């Protein structure tokens, strides 16, 4: 049976992922044409958490069970924001503009590595890969119809500098314009490697050493960077990652091999 997403739910949801024109345009240019990206402002989502009646039509029964296992309000908000951002992407990617299929019909559950996996979709819809990230007030998601994908959003927190030697090499920092703020340079390396991990190394818990940035280019006009990386495991691969700055966050996206 096809359940219908109440129009008010869709409208509420559209508000959560809407952005000023400049930001929306930048986000559009970040992901390839066969993918969709959404960025959700968690401060707009928190009032909805207090209204379980409005959440019910958005989650599958299995997602609903998982959601209620989380005790921390922050974890609940970030997990829910990531799921809704991913469902928004899937809906835009897989459903025609006129379709009001319920978000409940997309069930995104963690696989054995924690990677989000689209376990069920409205009948007849093709499979898609999804990737989710959250950081300081935002959740972001990417969905792609072809191959795997990875997204990372990172608040430019000073904590990045305290663990820099664990993820950034001097040769990689040297690839990035030295006039940029030190935290931005570190954040670029972090988000690139996290996006590549989620896309290509989902089953590798320790991954920073397996990814090496080899080139970083900046398109100032579009406020975009493109980073090329070499991945050493499980086979030698290359990855291209696109990154943009939204306020004091960086968002990085990549797409890659076949998804399961």
Element at 128 (helix H, strand E)? none
Q: Which two tokens stand for residue 242?
A: 């696109």
Give residues 35-54 in contact with ligand COA (rule: CB under 6 A): none
Does residue 138 belong to the site contacting ligand COA (CB under 6 A)? no
Residues 156-175: x/- map of binding to ligand COA (CB under 6 A)?
-------x--xx--------
Compute how many residues bind ligand COA; rule: CB under 6 A: 19
Pick 216 or 250: Cβ nearer ligand COA = 250
- Between 21 and 118, CB nearer to ligand COA: 118
Site for ligand COA in 103-132 (CB under 6 A): 113-116, 132
Beta carbon nearer to ligand COA, 13 or 198:
198
Site for ligand COA contains 198 (CB under 6 A): yes
CA atoms of 143 and 93, how far apart (whole Å)? 8
Helix (DSSP H) and strand (DSSP E) numbers for the chain: 10, 10
Distance of CA 171 to the CA centre of its chain: 27
- The strand order across the sheet containing 129-135 reads 35-41, 138-144, 129-135
- Closest contact distance (angstroms) between CB of 253 and ligand COA is 12
Strands 224-231 and 211-219 turn out to be: antiparallel
Q: Rank residues 97 and 170 by Cβ distance to ligand COA and give the closer one.
A: 170
Compare residues 28 and 75 and give the one whose CB is closer to ligand COA: 75
Question: Alpha-carbon distance 157 to 152, whole Å?
Answer: 14
Give one word for 124, left, alpha or beta, with left for phi > 0 and alpha for psi -120 to 50. Answer: left
The minimum distance between CB 202 and ligand COA, in angstroms, equals: 3
Task: Show the tokens assigned to 212.
Answer: 């090496």
82 contributes a contact to ligand COA by CB under 6 A: yes
| Strands 35-41 vs 138-144: parallel, antiparallel or unpaired | antiparallel
Q: Looking only at residues 7 through 36 of this chain, which bind ligand COA when binding is defined by CB under 6 A?
A: none
Residue nearest to ligand COA (CB): 114
Helix 73-94 vs helix 61-69: angle between axes, to the nearest 10 degrees? 160
Output 118 or 202, the one with its CB closest to ligand COA: 202
Q: Give the footprint of ligand COA on this chain (CB under 6 A).
A: 78-79, 82, 113-116, 132-135, 152, 163, 166-167, 194, 197-198, 202
């Amino acid at each position: 049976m096809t359940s219908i997403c109440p129009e008010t739910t869709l409208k509420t949801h559209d508000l959560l992922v809407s952005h000023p024109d400049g930001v929306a345009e930048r986000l559009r240019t970040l992901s390839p044409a066969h993918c969709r990206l959404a960025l959700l402002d968690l401060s707009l989502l928190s009032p909805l958490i207090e209204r379980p009646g409005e959440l019910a039509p958005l989650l599958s029964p299995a997602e609903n069970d998982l959601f209620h296992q989380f005790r921390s309000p922050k974890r609940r908000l970030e997990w829910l924001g990531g799921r809704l951002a991913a469902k928004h992407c899937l809906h835009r990617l897989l459903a025609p503009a006129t379709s009001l299929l319920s978000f409940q019909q997309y069930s995104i559950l963690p696989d054995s590595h924690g990677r989000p996996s689209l376990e069920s979709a409205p009948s007849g819809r093709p499979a898609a890969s999804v990737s989710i990230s959250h950081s300081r007030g935002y959740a972001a998601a990417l969905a792609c119809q072809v191959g795997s994908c990875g997204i990372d959003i990172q608040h430019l927190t000073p904590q990045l500098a305290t663990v820099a030697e664990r993820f950034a090499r001097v040769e990689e920092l040297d690839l990035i314009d030295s006039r940029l703020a030190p935290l931005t340079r570190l954040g670029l390396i972090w988000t690139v490697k996290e996006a590549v991990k989620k896309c290509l190394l989902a089953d590798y818990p320790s991954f920073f050493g397996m990814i090496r940035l080899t080139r970083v280019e900046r398109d100032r006009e579009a406020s975009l960077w493109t980073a090329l990386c070499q991945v050493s495991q499980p086979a030698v691969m290359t990855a291209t990652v696109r990154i943009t700055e939204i306020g004091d966050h960086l968002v990085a996206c990549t797409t890659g091999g076949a998804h399961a």
